[in-house]
Structure 1
Amino acid sequence: MNISRLSVNNPIGTAMVFIAILVVGLISISSLPRDVMPDMDFPTLTVITVYPGASPEDVESGVTSLLEAVLASTPNLQGINSVSRENVSIITLQFQWESNISDAANDARDIMELIKNDLPSAAQSPFIMKINSAMLPVVALAVSAEESYDNFDHIYRNIISPRLSRIDGVGTVFPIANPEKELLIEVDPVQLSAYGLTLQNITAIFKAEQMSIPAGSLKVGDYDLSVSVPSSLKDFHDVENLVISQFNNKAVHLKDVAKLNVRLKPKDEKVYSGGKRSIALFVQKQTGYNTLSIYKSVLEEMEEIKKYVPADVEISEIFNTADMIEETIKNLTSTVWLGAMWVMLVVLLFLRNIRSSLIIILTIPFSLITAFIVIYLFDYTINIFSLMSLVIAMGMVVDSAIVVLENIIQKIEKGERPREASIFGAGEMGTAITGSIFTTIAVFVPLLFLGGIVGVMFKQLVVITTAILLASLLAALTLTPMLSSKLIRVRKKEKSKLFLWSERMFQGLEMGYKKMLAWAVWHKTAVVVIAFSIFGLSIFSIRFIGTDYIPEFDSGDMILTFQTDEGTAVEKTENIAIEIEALVREHVPYVTSSYIVAGQTEKGLLSSIGFTEGKNSATVGFRFNMPEERDLNSTEIALEVDKLLKDIPELDKYSVGGAGVLSAVVLGNQKPVEVKLFGNDFEKLDEAIQKISDALYADGNFYNIEIPSSRNKPEFKFEVDRARASSMGLNNLLISMQMRQSLYGAGLGKISLDGQNLGVVVKYEEEYIKDIDKINNLQLINTMGQKVRIGDIATVEPAFTYQEIVREGQQRLFRISADMKNISLGEAFQRVQDIVDDAGLDENISVVYDGQVSEQSESFDDLALAFMVGLMLVYMILAALFKSLKYPFIILFTVPFTITGVIFAFLLTGTTLSLVTFTGVIMLIGVVVNNGIILVDYTNLLRGRGLQLSEAIQEAGRSRLRPVLMTTITTVIAMVPMAISKTMGSEIWSPLGITMIGGLLVSTLITLVLVPVVYALMNLGTLRKERK
């Protein structure tokens, strides 16, 4: 079936099909979610276990190592890492990319259930978090209050949280620094001892009295009635008067031995926004929902919420991702429109005819609208990569139509009727354009099978670009001939002077090119030597091109994290953060808003969204105005701020970066270069760390250098005399449990008092647990129920512990990491390797390099394989297309000079080889061969009509020069706006545009001469016969 004939014979049916595509596409656009990046479900699980009151070493030994040992058997597990901090264990499980992360979570949950009873009794049950791109908060809100601050927990749980959670698409709303109330029972140990009681007695009695116990059912007449024994504790008075014992025939009440008061629960997490103490609310979305619409709904709902909260409650915005998404998509959309306008202008300039230009221009919306139908059908989002596919395909969608239309016009001008010319003109070019489209698609196919972040990020781009190209092929073979049969006519009226002048110019260009080909065919050696000399020069120049992983994205954020001396209270850390915020605001004029998050959450929730945690840690975030409104990008601003921080003596460590929260999710807070040290001799490891870090500082090209925490956080250890304790009826378990309860207190669950749901904590009065001598006088109960003084079985020794303990592969890890400045990732890695080699490390210390450089290496290996597979697929398609093994080889001579063009473009613009640009090189394989296909196919066609080889080469070049130039220029001009863009998000797409433009321009110029020459060389025997 001849599809072109069918479309020409049924113009109304053809028109209806394309109008239907247009309508469905427009409907799809309105319902598509928008985001910066494609939805990504990372093959990562985070297991968080809260162990209140435990030191990092206790967390490591009691929780982390135990869980790691069993979780290591989880199917498809690739790696296991952990961080043990005070009160919390965070274990990260890394799986293979093709793993089903939900199944992995279930497997991990089942495995942990087996050893649940082996965990310390005070440790909470581990909970599992899946990591995906939806975890990046849509918006973070700051809520501040004066008089209402103490009651904010009630406001949050009963007003704010329910109203935000009911918004369609909202996944989770979680607060940080939320002031929760609790009932504190402070026991006087002296009074308690006087009545012959212990803290454990009070704990047991309180738990028994607060329980509501079902007592079965009772049948009364025709009814079955449930029976229960409710808690006897209904209000504060009931708790105070709770009978805990009898002494001298009198009841002893709780108030006789303890002070009771409702207080705000002490927390080690602090939030400031706009200079005010605040509560932060992080709103996360469900996967697949529109970030922009959720953000808009949240703002609208917050306006409604303000009507129901006290007047002193102020709600403001800390940061949002919607502005970044909206600005990025707006900028890239503008690039798409600008590219489309330039393409239309080029088509008009070349064709110099409104009707002809209209035929070509109409293929653009019909082809591009297909992208949105595919996005809808595949549940994709409108994001950077899906929109980049539109820009990449923009110039290519008209290529096939141009080739077909040029052939049709030539036939009409030779006297053929428009109908027949349209049918046969499209038919003649059908093989060439089909081959061109499928060679372009072929190079995309290997990218679909790549794993890791490369596959996730570029899958949408590949699928959408493929769909657009197939749509453009359909349009070229159906819509273009149908419209040509109706709109193209032989010119009868006198042509304008402009047309005649431009025609003479084009004809002169064509004849000049034909003469050049005549010279080149008879001077083949010179042409080949010149071409490959240029190629050799470009290969030599590769050494001057740097390599990177993913381009830094200026989202308008700067994140500053720091640590004070280990052991510093969170209150002091908080005050230093406030000073730093004021300092940066004073010296950086671009700041529009800022916030502070200091300390550590109970469950490590801040770690899950990219923040650093710890009592001596804080994050100060800054939001800047748009990149085009600044003289410096966010990374350059960060380097300036880095200089300011050097003068603050209280900072033990700090890091300041301009990548923002987006990079924290996509890259997992990875530094460009990380050096991992493993060994058992901690002194030698400390020495190695110092040598390497000193050398990194001395190098001058590294900053934000982070080293492991030393064992210098002060603590007290109670050294128990085991023999003496045993003789007094005490074992290690009894001692540790009772001391923990005495010093840290015991949580007794929740209780409802006077309409408030309160947590309950029982502990000794502060004055008895702040002084070592008084702690020594506290009583423990032995196995026989007798009291034993702590000081009689233990001595207090000052000691030091770690701020955090990092492990990998179930062994301790010491990691040094750094950001780089003024150098590429490849050069940074080489410098770090040299530094480590020169450090003279002990032979028992093993070194592993990690960070972005490790991910880059793996991704580049995958992309190199994709390049080779793509090249092979192109050859196979061309071999099938030409039914020859020789002609594909001729066409593939264009590929090396694509690399030449890319290298020269990189050198001129300072662009580096990254994930994005490497992918662009692969895409170019399928694009640059198209010109070769057109030349070789038409040369074969002319030879088949009886022309001699030399004449066929020259005539094919002359007649195909105009469509070759048009297709190249339209593709290039469509990408110029993308390449020169300097707006938010351009760091991602601009290098891709530079790559495509450089490769296309140079390969086209060389292809126009080299392909005909190589064709002649491959048919040298025929050429010699003709010459005789």
Structure 2
Amino acid sequence: ENIQQHIEEGVAPKEAAILGAKEMFKPVTIASLTTLFAFIPALMMSGTMGEVIKLIPIAVSVLVLASLIESFLFLPIHAAHVLKKEQKTTSWEGINRFYSWVIHFFMRYKKTFLTLFIILVPLLIVIGIKASKFQMFPQFDATTINITMKSNVNTKTEETIEYLKAIEKDLYERKDQYFISHVGSVAGWRRDSAGNSETYPYVGQITIELQKLKAQNFVDKFITPTLSFYYDEEGRTREDKSVIIAKELRHFLETQKYKEKFNLSDLAIVERKVGPIKSDLKIGLVSDDNQKVMHYAKQMKDALRQINGIVSVNDAMNFGVDEIKLQVNSYGESLGLSEQKLGVFLSNFYLERKIGFAFDSSDLLELKIRSVQKDSLDVLKNFQIKLDDNQFVALKDVVHFNVIKSFEKIIKDSGEKNFYIYANVDSKKITATETLEQIDSILEEAKKDGIKIILKGEEEKKKELKSDMMAASGVAMLLIMLSLLYLFNSFRETFMMMSVIPFAFLGVLIGHFTLGINLSMPSIIGMLGLSGVVINDGIIMVMNLKKANNMEEIFFYASKRFRPIVLTSVTTLIGLSSLVFFPTGQAAIFQPMAIALAFGLAWGTILNLLYLPVLYTILNQKRLGI
């Protein structure tokens, strides 16, 4: 654009190419570095979250460096040969006159404008943050939905298979209603709504494969089929996204009353989630008093189920098969019985025993015997014990039968026994943080009663993210400040430029509210990247304003930079628009990042065109002779 301006002023194309590239080399290089410095600190993020994010700064860094090389090596060569003096260009006179009128208006009331701006914009940002909802990752359209099931602990695998078949049959009869392509199931294994894998005879899982989603927007209909090597038009009959179908399936399971019909302890829809968080809420209760833990766990689960927006509630405190402990009573002891003797008697009867070998025509056979009545509790109670005097006595007369309930599994973290409660939320209605606020009174009561509360799930990852992002933001701001300080050699101009960054976050909030999307981790990454991108236009503006010696020259140089700033912003916004407005499939994960960059840059363009010239003028009144 700078080369074109010199050509329009009458300079020969070859000289214009050299002159334009020289003038822009330093500011554009610094602008590219600020973009790199904004994204690169994201590599500091640790754990699984860091693994998810690290490819973004790597890709951005490579592309920015490649763009910088192209801009100053190949572009001037092409411009010298392609651009001509006599070439007619689109006139910007009308829009330049409008911009000139606007900036004259704001300069006339510059102190009032700046005062109101510095008060209102931060106030709106604070209000926006308080009104915002945060979720770690956005949802995306999935091709499969799972139904996870758990029945009574005494249920056999064969019975579990029958339950699964009954549910499968009902689903397949409604395959057109729910856009089902295929239904499959497995008995004896499941992954619950908290992402835990379980292998028991009484658990099972149904996997529903959905039909391909129909084209939802302009990009799906025309752009993707043209540009994608893997696009397949066949079988695209599904009209609803997986999130909507999952809600309908939950309602279907409730109306069919499968839990009551099959005596199920858990029946839930499990949707695919992004990243390391498998359960939105994961509350750990640590105590040696199991009864106390169970009391507060029930309170929490009941409270969670009453909250609008809770999709599923589960826990890791399911009881396993009951155990019977036999204790010899005083009558048994008087007869000379002990638990050791009883153990020998009962093992001979109830355990499978090898009694010998036999031969058939070809092989050696092992002979074993076992009682056909080994599973009957009544037979056990009436089992006849032979005494030393050859008399017999019933087992129930000489022992106490103590039924012991044991947990199906016990989870330990850092050597402590933990009992977890899991819950998933509908992020359109409520977030994990808001849910915790609603049950805070129960959590506080449990703490006072000696139970240690551990918050995991999204809450744990939010703390990790906050810590990592604070460090990354600090490094990014320091590197950007040093770059600007090198360029301007002035602390005043450096901090003037950096003041654009926090004000630009208002655009991020406006974008998320406008599109009805919660803030998320990709949004935070987008805001971090925006810190380096939004000041790029400002660098070009301030570099030109520094040439001004009076107010007329301020207006002239500001108007001169209007076209390149608008073109830079518009081309970037066009590039981001498909991801902002038409995300497809798993690309929806990065939609919040695109929204943060696009709306932040759009608002940042207004800041660079109006706020920066006004602020520069006020800070340099003496030099400008005002």
Same fold (TM over 0.5): yes
Q: What pairs with 1:612-651 in structure 2 (closer than 5 Å)?
A: 612-628=198-214, 629-646=237-254, 647-648=257-258, 649=260, 650-651=262-263
Is the CA contact 2:508–2:600 (under 8 Å) kept in the aligned structure 1? yes
In the alignment, is residue 900 of structure 1 matched against residue 489 of structure 2? no
422-431 or 515-524, larger mean C-alpha shift: 515-524
| 1:683 corresponds to | 291
Q: CA deviation at 1:842?
A: 5.8
Q: CA deviation at 1:651?
A: 4.3
| 1:667 corresponds to | 276
| 2:266 corresponds to | 654
In the alignment, is residue 553 of structure 1 matched against residue 162 of structure 2? no
Q: CA deviation at 1:921?
A: 0.6
Give the one of 423, 439, 442 matched to 2:37: 442
Is the CA contact 2:411–2:419 (under 8 Å) kept in the aligned structure 1? yes
Give the one of 406, 413, 422 matched to 1:808: 413
- When residues 420 and 676 of structure 1 are mapped into structure 2, their CA distance, relative to the original with a 3 A threshold, is same
| Cα deviation digits, residues 131-168 of structure 1 (max 9, x gap) | xxxxxxxxxxxxxxxxxxxxxxxxxxxxxxxxxxxxxx
Q: CA deviation at 1:457?
A: 1.0
User: What is the CA–CA distance in structure 2 between the aligned matches of 1:891 and 1:551, rounded to whole Å?
Assistant: 32
Is the CA contact 2:49–2:276 (under 8 Å) kept in the aligned structure 1? no
Q: What pairs with 1:694-773 in structure 2 (closer than 5 Å)?
A: 694-711=302-319, 713-719=321-327, 739=347, 743=351, 764-765=369-370, 767=372, 769-771=374-376
User: What is the CA–CA distance in structure 2 between the aligned matches of 1:470 and 1:424, rounded to whole Å?
Assistant: 22
Is the CA contact 1:655–1:704 (under 8 Å) kept in the aligned structure 2? no
When the two structures are superposed, what TM-score results if normalisation uses the length of structure 2? 0.83
User: What is the CA–CA distance in structure 2 between the aligned matches of 1:692 and 1:710, rounded to whole Å?
Assistant: 15
Give the one of 80, 84, 106 matched to 1:489: 84
| Cα deviation digits, residues 320-379 of structure 1 (max 9, x gap) | xxxxxxxxxxxxxxxxxxxxxxxxxxxxxxxxxxxxxxxxxxxxxxxxxxxxxxxxxxxx
- When residues 744 and 847 of structure 1 are mapped into structure 2, their CA distance, relative to the original with a 3 A threshold, is farther
- What SS does structure 2 have at the residue aligned with 1:615? coil
Is the CA contact 1:743–1:763 (under 8 Å) kept in the aligned structure 2? no
User: What is the CA–CA distance in structure 2 between the aligned matches of 1:957 and 1:651, rounded to whole Å?
Assistant: 74
Q: What pairs with 1:119-198 in structure 2 (closer than 5 Å)?
A: none
| 1:299 corresponds to | none
Is the CA contact 1:554–1:658 (under 8 Å) kept in the aligned structure 2? no
Q: What pairs with 1:393-542 in structure 2 (closer than 5 Å)?
A: 406-491=1-86, 495=88, 502-503=90-91, 506-532=92-118, 533-542=120-129
| 1:866 corresponds to | 472
| Cα deviation digits, residues 396-437 of structure 1 (max 9, x gap) | xxxxxxxxxx11122223333322221221011000100110
- What SS does structure 2 have at the residue aligned with 1:985? helix
User: What is the CA–CA distance in structure 2 between the aligned matches of 1:524 and 1:778, rounded to whole Å?
Assistant: 103
Q: CA deviation at 1:463?
A: 0.6
Give the one of 946, 964, 975 matched to 2:576: 975
- When residues 969 and 741 of structure 1 are mapped into structure 2, their CA distance, relative to the original with a 3 A threshold, is farther
Query: Considering only aligned residues, what root-mean-square deviation do their CA atoms show, in Å?
Result: 3.7
| 2:183 corresponds to | 594
- What SS does structure 2 have at the residue aligned with 1:551? coil
Is the CA contact 2:312–2:423 (under 8 Å) kept in the aligned structure 1? yes
Is the CA contact 2:144–2:207 (under 8 Å) kept in the aligned structure 1? yes
Q: CA deviation at 1:525?
A: 1.1
The one-letter code of the counterpart of 1:964 is I
| Cα deviation digits, residues 295-340 of structure 1 (max 9, x gap) | xxxxxxxxxxxxxxxxxxxxxxxxxxxxxxxxxxxxxxxxxxxxxx
The one-letter code of the counterpart of 1:928 is V
Q: What pairs with 1:345-360 in structure 2 (closer than 5 Å)?
A: none
The one-letter code of the counterpart of 1:554 is D
- Between the two proteins, what is the percent identity of the paired residues? 22
| 2:517 corresponds to | 911
User: What is the CA–CA distance in structure 2 between the aligned matches of 1:873 and 1:565, rounded to whole Å?
Assistant: 60
| 1:564 corresponds to | 151
- When residues 577 and 744 of structure 1 are mapped into structure 2, their CA distance, relative to the original with a 3 A threshold, is farther
The one-letter code of the counterpart of 2:44 is F
Is the CA contact 2:148–2:192 (under 8 Å) kept in the aligned structure 1? no
Q: CA deviation at 1:928?
A: 0.3
User: What is the CA–CA distance in structure 1 between the aligned matches of 2:412 and 2:165, rounded to whole Å?
Assistant: 33
- When residues 982 and 473 of structure 1 are mapped into structure 2, their CA distance, relative to the original with a 3 A threshold, is closer
Q: What pairs with 1:295-334 in structure 2 (closer than 5 Å)?
A: none
Q: Which has the higher contact order (CA 8 A, sep 6+)?
A: 2
Is the CA contact 1:562–1:651 (under 8 Å) kept in the aligned structure 2? no
User: What is the CA–CA distance in structure 1 between the aligned matches of 2:131 and 2:194, rounded to whole Å?
Assistant: 39
- What SS does structure 2 have at the residue aligned with 1:526? helix
User: What is the CA–CA distance in structure 1 between the aligned matches of 2:246 and 2:263, rounded to whole Å?
Assistant: 17
Q: CA deviation at 1:770?
A: 3.5
In the alignment, is residue 987 of structure 1 matched against residue 588 of structure 2? yes
Is the CA contact 2:17–2:80 (under 8 Å) kept in the aligned structure 1? yes
- When residues 464 and 655 of structure 1 are mapped into structure 2, their CA distance, relative to the original with a 3 A threshold, is farther
Where in structure 1 are there 5+ consecutive unaligned residues? 1-405, 747-753, 780-788
- When residues 409 and 635 of structure 1 are mapped into structure 2, their CA distance, relative to the original with a 3 A threshold, is closer
Is the CA contact 1:531–1:1006 (under 8 Å) kept in the aligned structure 2? no
Is the CA contact 1:448–1:459 (under 8 Å) kept in the aligned structure 2? yes
In the alignment, is residue 962 of structure 1 matched against residue 563 of structure 2? yes
| 2:438 corresponds to | 831
| 1:95 corresponds to | none
When the two structures are superposed, what TM-score results if normalisation uses the length of structure 1? 0.52
- When residues 716 and 745 of structure 1 are mapped into structure 2, their CA distance, relative to the original with a 3 A threshold, is farther
Q: CA deviation at 1:674?
A: 1.9
Q: CA deviation at 1:488?
A: 1.9
Is the CA contact 1:573–1:618 (under 8 Å) kept in the aligned structure 2? yes
- When residues 766 and 488 of structure 1 are mapped into structure 2, their CA distance, relative to the original with a 3 A threshold, is farther
User: What is the CA–CA distance in structure 1 between the aligned matches of 2:353 and 2:183, rounded to whole Å?
Assistant: 37
The one-letter code of the counterpart of 1:848 is I
User: What is the CA–CA distance in structure 2 between the aligned matches of 1:796 and 1:926, rounded to whole Å?
Assistant: 73
| Cα deviation digits, residues 510-558 of structure 1 (max 9, x gap) | 2332343334334221221342313422321222210001112322221
Is the CA contact 1:560–1:621 (under 8 Å) kept in the aligned structure 2? yes
Instruction: Judging by fraction of residues, say which structure has more strand.
Output: 1
- When residues 593 and 579 of structure 1 are mapped into structure 2, their CA distance, relative to the original with a 3 A threshold, is same
Q: CA deviation at 1:607?
A: 12
In the alignment, is residue 999 of structure 1 matched against residue 577 of structure 2? no
Is the CA contact 2:447–2:453 (under 8 Å) kept in the aligned structure 1? no
- What SS does structure 1 have at the residue aligned with 2:491? coil
Is the CA contact 1:688–1:841 (under 8 Å) kept in the aligned structure 2? no
Give the one of 819, 838, 857 matched to 2:424: 819
